[in-house]
């Protein structure tokens, strides 16, 4: 049986690395770790992660801010015999400040959009033909509760991160959610959905927590990625595509 091919962007740390570790632990998988610098020590260290029988790891360069990187990655993978991808997890993203709308600088919004939105568009356009060669293609956008437009019942709790000031990062995730929903409409063969990983104890998540006077974010990486993988592996066009999900398997309103 041919291996399941999974590509994860931003795979050398945080949520991306957590997901990478779980997929490497599954037998008969080819897992592609994409990040901006495969030569970095954090990238090379990924080869030391445990691998299940029949599972292998490939590193590839994709810097979300470089318009040609995703297309170059497609060509590089093709030269290694990778002509399709079964699961593509668009995880790479940035968040480095949390201003109000009154205070946000357009330049900071643009930097967040460059990685969190434009980078995803480059990635999707480059890999669409490769995804469509899969028998069961899945596109998963790692979204955010910061991009929810509907207040949830417990929205005053820090667990939801709604409402908080977030005028640079939040809008970029709203657009990412929209793009992902559009993908599933435009491409009937692709199962596509965004999923909120929760407020996770990554560098980005903990920085946001510190700025709000908290010691750290709510969820461990292990808790988040275990839930994410469970949702991703269970996803079908009929049950999950075009819907907005949380890491714990709850479907939420846009």
- Of the residues 169, 181, 246, 247, only one is catalytic, namely 169
Whether residue 38 is preceded by a cis peptide bond, meaning omega within 30 degrees of 0, is no
Output the six-digit token pair for 54: 């029949």
In contact, 158 and 210? CB cutoff 8 Å = no
- Of the residues 173, 181, 246, 247, only one is catalytic, namely 173
User: In 3D, which of 90, 85, 89 has the Cα closest to residue 137?
Assistant: 85
111 catalytically annotated: no
Write out the DSSP string of 147-190. Answer: G--SPPTTTTSTTTT-S---TTHHHHHHHHHHHHHHHHHH-TT-
173 catalytically annotated: yes
Q: Which residue bears the tokens 């592996």?
A: 233
Q: Would you please indicate which residues are annotated as catalytic (active-site) residues?
A: 169, 173
């Amino acid at each position: 049986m041919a291996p399941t091919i999974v590509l994860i962007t931003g795979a050398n740390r945080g949520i991306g690395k957590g997901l990478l570790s779980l997929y490497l632990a599954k037998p008969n998988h080819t897992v592609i770790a994409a990040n901006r610098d495969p030569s970095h020590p954090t990238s090379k260290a990924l080869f030391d992660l445990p691998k299940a029988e029949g599972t292998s790891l490939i590193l590839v360069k994709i810097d979300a801010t470089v318009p040609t990187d995703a297309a170059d990655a497609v060509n590089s993978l093709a030269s290694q015999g990778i002509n399709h991808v079964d699961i593509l997890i668009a995880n790479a993203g940035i968040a480095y400040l949390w201003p109000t709308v009154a205070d946000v600088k357009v330049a900071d919004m643009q930097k967040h959009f460059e990685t969190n939105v434009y980078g995803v568009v480059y990635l999707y356009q480059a890999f669409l033909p490769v995804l469509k060669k899969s028998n069961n293609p899945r596109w998963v956008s790692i979204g955010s509760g910061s991009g929810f437009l509907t207040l949830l019942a417990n929205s005053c709790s820090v667990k939801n991160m709604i409402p908080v000031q977030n005028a640079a990062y939040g809008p970029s995730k709203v657009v990412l959610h929209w793009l992902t929903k559009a993908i599933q409409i435009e491409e009937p063969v692709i199962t596509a959905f965004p999923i909120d990983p929760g407020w996770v104890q990554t560098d980005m998540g903990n920085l946001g927590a510190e700025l709000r006077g908290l010691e750290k974010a709510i969820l461990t990486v292990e808790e988040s990625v275990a839930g994410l993988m469970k949702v991703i592996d269970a996803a079908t066009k009929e049950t999950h595509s075009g819907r907005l999900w949380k890491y714990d398997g709850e479907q939420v309103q846009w």
